Amino acid sequence: MTARTGLTEAEARTAGFDPVVSTSYVDDHKAYYPNAHQITIRLIADRQSGQLLGAQLMGQATSEVAKRTDILRRPSIIT
């Protein structure tokens, strides 16, 4: 399952930004509990201003990645 908000890296370039991308790999809950699944989090920001432009989260359906993008949808975080 994939969830996203804001711009992708390609969309950011097309819009005239100089994007920088950071990718992290985290578990959907504490790894010592059974059935932890990896989530890939990719954040895209403008190199010049540091403005967060977009985010993509990928993981298994049970990871509820769509719910994790909610905090990034606030207007003060991604415009």
Amino acid at the residue 45: A
pLDDT tens per residue, range 11-59: 999 999 999 999 999 888 777 788 888 889 999 999 999 999 999 988 8
pTM: 0.78
pLDDT of 18: 97
Give me the CATH topology for the region 2-73: Enolase-like; domain 1 (3.30.390)
Q: What span, in angstroms and rounded, lies between the C-alpha atoms of 37 and 60? A: 7
* Domain boundaries along the sequence of the chain: 2-73
pLDDT of 12: 95
pLDDT of 70: 66
pLDDT of 49: 93
26 is written with which tokens?
């985290």
pLDDT of 4: 87
Q: What span, in angstroms and rounded, lies between the C-alpha atoms of 19 and 50? A: 9
